[in-house]
Amino acid sequence: MPADLVLLSARLLDPGTGRLLPHTALAAQDGRIGFLGADREARVFAGPGTTVVDLRGAVVTAGLTDGHLHPVSGAERTMGVDLSGCRDLEALRTTLAAAVRELRPGAWLRGWGLDPNAFGTAPVGNASLGPVLDGVPAFLDLFDAHSALASERALEHAGIDGPRRFAQGSEIVCDADGRPTGLLLEDAACALVEDVAPRPTAAEVRARTAEVLRAMAAAGLTGGHAMDANGDSLAVYGALEAEQALPLRLRIAPWCRPEADDDAVAGLVRLQGTGGALWRVAGVKLFMDGTVDNGTAWLETPDCHGESAHAYWPDPQRYTQVVAALHRAGVATATHAIGDAAVRHVLDSVEKARTEGRGGGSGEGSGSVRHRVEHIETVPDDTVRRFAQLGVAASMQPTHCCEFTRADHTDNWSRRLGEERAGRAFRCRDLWAAGARVVLGSDWPIAPYPPLQVMAGARHRRPADLSLPPHGPDQALTALQALQGMTVNAAWAAGEETGAGRLAVGHRADLTVLADDPLTVSDTDLAELPVRLTVVAGRPTYRAADL
């Protein structure tokens, strides 16, 4: 039978071993690698409908998978003004003023990616923006997507004129006189303004999502673990696949919130396995805390402001019960846990579920349900050791450390935590050395999605401005570890290691083709390494113009 795809004159890099295979060609059929060998032998698989590509020495590796991203909700969130490049108040005011000049009268201004460090030592609030937003309804997402800044007019539209009580740690931040500053913490508070702001149409969200996914494919991504199914996400994936416009393989974990009762949890169980050829619901996403920058993380000792002392779940034991129920049903969980207390509680809950639930036991080889913890920004040694013992994947986003913290600890995150906890930031290497399966991702739109940039950040721990010093260079991963974090480890976390994440006959033909070997390119040059070809299920989803 003719192959769907034949790649010739290639260097084949297996991320499982870090070695180049003794082959120069690859053939794929029905979405799987069917042949590895010499060019001459591979040519016999080419038929009239076969895509044949001469790679002229480019390096083929298993397809890069982002371990944590938000394609549809991120696509909608990033339809506003990009504020991620604003490093101080002057730049922020200038960017916003330019955006206001382009607005129609009465229109809302949406922005995203705002770094609280841009405010310096001033409080994060609309007062710092001066007259720029006077009379303009504006809603600006902070970079963490757990907080937002609303203008005075936006607060008026939402009827917000003072503090309110929320069940899950949300807050309308107010000054000493009880007047809202514009800063809204966590979902329930942010939703008050989001619910009155105009929303894009379904067609606009679908078009924007398609645009984002095409760009992700061009950056070398073949797949991603989507950490929400919010809004009409599942319908968007279905529509794009029906149009043959879905260029990534997506594994989707819908949210389970603290208010979910047993019927809601059962509904999440029933949703498992639904989807299409390239997308499916697999797992459930939960939150154990918020963020350090907001003072909504869950720390064993409060931060320097006396904040970050509580869990996102009003009753943490209810979280433990939900994890146990999902475990018994064979459903993997992915829990957002940033602070040390949050991470500890997740691991305690998984241990309890493994001991009492179906499968039992602990460790990497026990049971078929693979739970994971997302973010893990600061944890002590005893917590680091438990990941491997419990077989829990450590899902890390090294570019968060690179872009939003500083080596001298003058950033907001580090100041809140203090020297000791800021000094154990994003312990990628320690977790790896302790035997944990470290999965790398971007958490886009929180940080940029190009996978080579994520891998580079894991290796050099520097921000995009490479002249700045690294934060925690002792936690840097090796070149091979960084590659495995987006290939073999991502496949393991999904329970797919026997058919994905490596170059082997029978494995998925999800492939990333690079101009050179990512294991020999320097840490500081890796992010700029050209992507030559991206393949999903044997179908090119991106191809360089000259290839």
- Sheet containing strand 51-54, edge to edge, reads 32-37, 25-29, 5-8, 51-54
Q: Do 80-195 and 283-360+368-477 share a fold? A: no
Q: What is the pLDDT of residue 145?
A: 87
What is the predicted pLDDT for the residue at 321? 98
Q: Helices (DSSP H) in 371-478: which residue ranges?
A: 381-390, 398-404, 412-417, 419-422, 428-433, 451-460
pLDDT of residue 526: 98
Fold of 283-360+368-477: TIM Barrel (3.20.20)
Q: Strand, helix or coil at 406? A: coil
| Strands in 58-205 per DSSP E | 59-62, 64-69, 81-82, 109-114, 138-142, 147-150, 171-174, 180-185
**Which strand (E) or helix (H) includes residue 52?**
strand 51-54
Q: Which residues pair with 112 in a beta bridge?
A: 82
Handedness of CA 221, 223, 227, 229 (dihedral sign): positive
| Gap between the Cα atoms of 371 and 266, Å rounded | 18
Note the pLDDT of residue 357.
Answer: 74
pLDDT score recorded for residue 366: 41
CATH architecture under which domain 80-195 falls: Roll (3.10)
Quickly count: other Cβ atoms within 10 Å of residue 466's Cβ. Answer: 14
For residue 364, the model assigns a pLDDT of: 45
Give the residues of the chain that fall short of pLDDT 50. 359-366
Angle CA(162)–CA(165)–CA(169) in degrees, nearest 5? 115
Cβ–Cβ < 8 Å for 24, 8 = yes
Model pLDDT, residue 26:
98
The domain segmentation of the chain, as residue ranges, is 80-195, 283-360+368-477
Q: Is 338 exposed, middle or buried (0-12, 13-18, 19+ CB in 10 A)?
A: buried
The pair of three-digit structure tokens given for residue 213, joined into one six-digit string: 């996914």
**DSSP string of 241-297?**
HHTT---SEEEE--B--TT--HHHHHHHHHHTT-B-SSEEE-SEEEES---TTTT-S
